Structure 1
């Protein structure tokens, strides 16, 4: 028996030795494995120096003049905030649900790891979690995992533990918490608590409530699955779990748990989408200007990046004004589009004119792509017509999914009227409102900064201004009779009135207020074409304008921005002011990098007296002329002047409004120059463009916040100006002159301008 016990003991001892050696071997292997990771054999691990110098990629923010955040430029949507801006309930919610012993461990929570290992391995509980501390999660945020296979997950876990230990030696607990909350992902390319608070609740981190903080923290376990916008019920359940965890850690009372869990999600979701949101055309123009400024700065040894440097861009835009203007634009353009389509009916060019549609198709990328494949025109059109698929068509009634071809799409979008609308404060050059088109997602082309269109009768005030400067008296009378200019190839500009106009003679004020074409050309003769072109340039229009008599009728193509600049001259005693988008730029720590101020031209383009006369003339346009519906239809009692404009064949409708504090321009037309309004009644500036100002101004008048823009009056004109304008508006030809004048026969003469 003794021998047997000895053999058994030896056998047991041998087994124990094998097990011991195995355990030692595994430990040695594991230690070597960890050492190999630490030495960088499985990929580089950042040093303490690198970890202490890491920087966030931060979104740059765009603000209105009234401090409303309207947009961001980013690769990763992130705005870091300081620890002091984290409310206590946010920190408590995060620690309660993600890392209860955060302030007790040194980067790795071994108790949690043992618990997770026991539940996962021995009890097969997949809900046990990963056991990662906030510091380890920060390590993962800073250095995201690249591969998902099992070997790499183990390597990544060990790497994160090593990085976590180093982070704990470099940063305080509060700094680690700050870095974590500024780097953690909330899905949809949104990083950091500040961006998440803005996106889901349209508020800053410092202002979020306990329930809101718990909702956002609850997302971190699964940013898609617990997204409150997509899965509100799941999100509520997860939020309530966070609140109970806060109670379990003695951060809130049982009564507070009950109260907070009764709250609805109450999201105020606001995605900072390039294509959506308020003022998208303006934001794009700001982006372009910022890129130019950054390029200049970086040439002088700076290192700014619009998408990663976290710049703060403070613009001139007035948020409330812009919002009202966009609402008015939608209201007006919806009605106008309906009237426009009805006016054409079944004979609309986008329906009947197949050649025109094919001509427009040639301008598309789809056509050019097939053309590069050496297909003939007929083959391309056939392909674009027959290739039908599901498409999203946008119109004023909303988006709708249809089965359509590319040609169907071209036909659909060709018919839409577009617009450009701009408002400037002429006293300081601030751009207050900028609407570059009807839908930025569909129409990227900006009708304010990019488009040049004939400006029609809105150019006439410049002609009249030049004439006054050349000594033409305001009470000079001009015959409305139509003239054929034989030295201009028989050019014969006409009026839209009846033949009886041939017997009428208009004062300059009456001719301008009623936009009489024949008189504008005769005023141009008195002023001289070269003097008019010089006046336009001195008023801020740099475009090369045609040196032709037709310039009197606005055949020159000018950008809205440049025409608006010219009109600021009337509010500034002859000096134009350069419109300004950006007021100042700061870095991510709010240090001012640059401030911008608009420049008033050094020389006046015309005298103070001429300016007063022109304002009085353009007041008549509003009070009794082509813009009188501002008074009759919209009931506006503001002190204002203005000018309507309609170009040849009703292609472009314009309106310019001038008040002591505002210069407002609106253009309406089609992007395809071949198509205009079907008739002058619907396409004239007073009908197509003026209502956007009338409706908008009506809204401003109802809000005391805008009194500084709506309540001001023009300075009273001098006695000499009042006297110069004191004449009958119209004189009728005498009996004998009428007797020998044939209104049906055009007078022939040479143009001497």
Structure 2
């Protein structure tokens, strides 16, 4: 036993012992508290799960109007891969008029549709048969998995992720991640002393700024979940201790699964891409379990630093990193040498544009975000991880975008306008069900800013005229399609003492014109004359009944002094297209919780708000707009032999160019103009009509059903007099009338209208 003679040294050693004991006791208490904190915080980890927004699924059935070429394009849009043979879900093979596909399983709102191997045949325009491979049984209906078109996440968080379970991940991914990032993962206790020493030695002799890190996957997870990116010894010590403590309570598999869902792998504007589940969609437009080894290597390579290794900005650097990871995969026995060589020869395969991101269809996602708040209770929407199934038709959206992108520059060139001067917006809806199928709010179709389709309130011009004529035709005692209307000057004294003297667009007078011709040619003076006769209130009420609230109760309303958005116009024209039945236009079909339970929604009821017979007569007149009126240019591009109805719209000084129209299955509205409200030199026929006509052709829209509804009967009419005609009249047309409202007299040309001498004598004595 050593005896310490110096009292000073003895007391110093005693003090040191006491200090050490107190420090050790304090450290113990601190570690206990830190341990409790780590357990509580990890148990309370609740990832922000944005709502996932899906497009409408493509339905396949015998007779579906889609060719093999179009079906192939749809599969490629969904991330399916062409192959000589089916190798698993998400693959397809084409041979002549037959396409074989291995579909993905998907949980729809009405149940789970399992994976299926399917053989599809078609002719030039439609599917002729569907059958399950290995069976002769025909399949009546099958839905492809819908496209993930975006996310809606809380405003306080820019994080986006798709959660995955370790059991759902291809085994090659975690094995590669461990091989590249943390080879001792299975053996260390949260930190790797060997890794720390190796990194320290490497950094000591490193002359550059790029340093090696010694962090384990557990440490990286701790940093991502709980700590900042501060580069300090204190933060690193805290990180290491928390990692050690976490591994005392959580299994390696749980840590690995959490890391797979948490790691940051890229940026999409303000949206941070977290986890491999979403990164697979973001970069390759396919689910995680369909990734090839080279694609897995690329994602693992990006994890080192998404800013430095951005495949869209630095493809060569990323390829070098990917190939290095492939080499490490081979060195670790994860892939064979020949596999590595083959995979290293493949291109990166990263999409040029973000197919599944919020930037893809910004105008439509904007509509979904607004409508969901009006359809569901706020307390239900607080649940994270909602799955929103929408009405968006990717094919219709693609065609609308393509037309605006292609046609606006042509319009500018024709009018000698500076490129980029014009703006545009468009909406496509279904006639049945009132579903919004496509929407564009800017000429830059990916621009997520001002949405003109929803927020641009512009005068609609002559788009209002059909409702003036509808009001007239609803009064059969006074008006029918061949009623004569005077195209003569009007000078109306207003309540404030001013005078309103409208003019025709062509500044001409046309005498007496039939009612349907006045609409087809978009004459202003006959329209105002009819409106004044019927009354402002009646026209106002019909426009509101069609679905547009708050039009002004002024005569200028007859000529379109009504501010509305393209979606507003689509609403009222959808009511006309649906024979007077109002269905609020919707972009949302169903919303489900992350557990797969549907949310209850506020119900809307379909109801008839416009009289069906007069709507049919108005639609008949609107067909003449395209047949020989202001929309006649469209005949050159629309399918021959089919009838479509529509109306041009032009505002003062040609500041706004509109066209709205429909067939039996599609309604489309297009607006062209300038944000600064300066004249564009384009009326509705020279501007928006050109986009609308080609769009309806590209949509393969169907013409209008010409069968009169109950309460409407047809008669042969002399086009000169508007009176009844028979075989005695050289020219005659078939015209619909409300039942009981046919003309009473025959035209002079009709045999029935010519009196015999006997009739003359009878009239004298009578």
**1:698 is the counterpart of 2:691:** no
Does the residue aligned with 1:190 lie in a helix, a strand or coil?
strand
Match of 2:291 in 1: 208
Distance 2:675 2:721 in 1: 39
- Looking at structure 2, the residues matched to 25 and 222 of structure 1 have their Cα atoms a distance apart, in angstroms, of 47
Determine if the alignment matches structure 1 residue 618 to structure 2 residue 622: yes
**Helix, strand or coil: the match of 2:522?**
coil
Q: TM-score, length-normalised on structure 1?
A: 0.73
> Does the 8 A contact of 1:507 with 1:729 survive in 2?
no
Partner SS state of residue 655, structure 1:
strand
Pair 1:124–1:479, CA change in 2 (3 A) = closer
Do the aligned residues in 2 keep the contact of 1:418 with 1:671 (CA within 8 Å)?
Answer: yes
Partner of 1:578 in structure 2?
Answer: 584
SS at match of 2:167: helix
Distance 2:211 2:26 in 1: 25
Q: Tell me which residue corresponds to 2:305.
A: 222
Q: CA deviation at 1:44?
A: 8.5
2:554 matched to 1:538?
no
Match of 2:456 in 1: 451
Structure-1 separation of matches of 2:656 and 2:356? 31
Distance 1:631 1:176 in 2: 64
Whole-Å separation in 1 of the counterparts to 2:451 and 2:172 = 46
- Residue of 596, 599, 616 corresponding to 1:593: 599
Aligned pairs for 1:318-717 within 5 A:
318-342=393-417, 396=420, 416-439=421-444, 444-471=449-476, 472-485=478-491, 487-488=493-494, 491-497=500-506, 501-502=510-511, 505-548=512-555, 550-594=556-600, 599-601=605-607, 603-606=608-611, 608-632=612-636, 637-673=641-677, 675-678=678-681, 683-701=682-700, 710-711=701-702, 713-717=704-708
How far the C-alpha of 1:631 sits from its partner, in A, is 0.7
- Partner of residue 173, structure 1: 252
- Cα distance 1:236–1:526, how it changes in 2: closer, same or farther (>3 A)? same
Partner Cα separation in structure 2 for residue 260 and residue 198 of structure 1? 20
In structure 2, C-alpha distance between the alignment counterparts of 1:625 and 1:113, rounded to whole Å: 81
Deviation of 1:141 after TM superposition, in Å, equals 2.0
The count of residues paired between Structure 1 and Structure 2 equals 611
Aligned to 1:59: 50
Match of 2:151 in 1: 72
- CA shift digits 1:91-115 (9 cap, x unpaired): 2211221233433445444554565
Mark the CA change 1:699 to 1:544 in structure 2 (over 3 Å): closer, same or farther.
Answer: closer
Please give the alpha-carbon distance, in whole angstroms, between the structure 1 residues aligned to 2:449 and 2:206. Answer: 58
Q: Residue 530 and residue 311 in structure 1: after superposition, are their counterparts in 2 closer, same or farther (change >3 A)?
A: same
Are the aligned partners of 2:658 and 2:670 in contact in 1 as well (CA < 8 Å)? Answer: yes
Q: 1:268 to 1:29 in 2, by over 3 A?
A: farther
Deviation at 1:645, TM superposition (A): 1.7
- 2:187 aligned with 1:182, yes or no? no
Q: CA deviation at 1:466?
A: 0.9
Matches within 5 A, 1:173-322: 173-188=252-267, 189-271=272-354, 277-290=359-372, 296-298=377-379, 304=382, 309-322=384-397
* Cα contact 1:480–1:516 (8 A) shared by 2: no
Are 1:584 and 1:596, in contact at CA under 8 Å, matched by a contact in 2? no
Aligned CA distance change for structure 1 residues 465 and 229 (closer, same or farther; 3 Å): closer
Native 8 Å contact 2:423 2:442 kept in 1: yes
2:311 and 2:453 map into 1 onto residues whose CA distance is: 39
In the TM superposition, residue 689 of structure 1 has moved relative to its aligned partner by: 1.0
Deviation at 1:117, TM superposition (A): 6.1
Residues 196 and 45 of structure 1: is their aligned pair in 2 closer, same or farther, counting only changes over 3 Å? farther
* Matches of 1:528 and 1:125, distance apart in 2: 83
Pairing 1:142–2:147 present: no
Distance 1:699 1:730, change over 3 A: farther
Contact kept? 1:61, 1:311, Cα under 8 Å: yes
Alignment RMSD: 3.7
Q: Which moved more, 1:245-254 or 1:179-188?
A: 245-254
Give how far 1:64 is off: 1.8
CA distance in 1, matches of 2:453, 2:44: 44
Classify 1:687/1:117 alpha carbon distance in 2 versus 1 (closer, same or farther; 3 Å): closer
Deviation at residue 559 of structure 1 after TM alignment: 3.3
Mean alpha-carbon deviation: is it higher for 513-522 or for 114-123?
Answer: 114-123
SS in 2 for 1:100: coil
Q: Structure 1 residues 624 and 242 mapped into 2: Cα distance closer, same or farther (>3 Å)? A: same
SS in 2 for 1:723: strand
Q: Which has the higher strand share?
A: 2
Any conservation in 2 of the 1:120–1:126 contact (CA below 8 Å)? no
Alignment of 1:25-174 (within 5 A): 35=28, 38-39=31-32, 46-66=37-57, 67-74=146-153, 75-110=158-193, 112-113=195-196, 129-149=212-232, 151-166=233-248, 169-170=249-250, 172-174=251-253
1:465–1:122 CA distance, 2 compared to 1 (3 A): closer
1:544 aligned counterpart, secondary structure: coil
Provide, for residues 322-352 of structure 1, a one-character-per-residue CA deviation record: whole Å limited to 9, x for no partner: 121112112221122233445xx9xxxxxxx
**Offset at residue 610 of structure 1 (A):** 1.6
Report the more deviating stretch, 54-63 or 476-485. Answer: 476-485
1:422-465 CA-partner distances (Å, limit 9, x unpaired): 12112111111212233478894433322332222211111111
Deviation at 1:200, TM superposition (A): 2.3
Provide closer, same or farther for how the CA distance between residues 35 and 223 of structure 1 changes in structure 2, counting only shifts above 3 A: farther
1:184-203 residue CA offsets vs partner (Å, 9 max, x unmatched): 12243322112322232232
Deviations 1:188-245 (A, max 9, x none): 3322112322232232222221101111112223333333333333322322232232
C-alpha separation in 1, matches of 2:426 and 2:207: 65
Distance 1:291-1:672 versus aligned 2 partners, 3 A rule? same
Using the size of structure 2 for normalisation, the TM-score is 0.72
- Measure how far apart 1:657 and its partner are: 0.8
* Alpha-carbon distance in structure 2 between the residues aligned to 1:574 and 1:219: 56
**Change in 2 beyond 3 A, CA 1:730/1:566:** farther
Task: Tell me, in whole angstroms, the C-alpha distance in 2 between the residues paired with 1:159 and 1:557.
Answer: 64
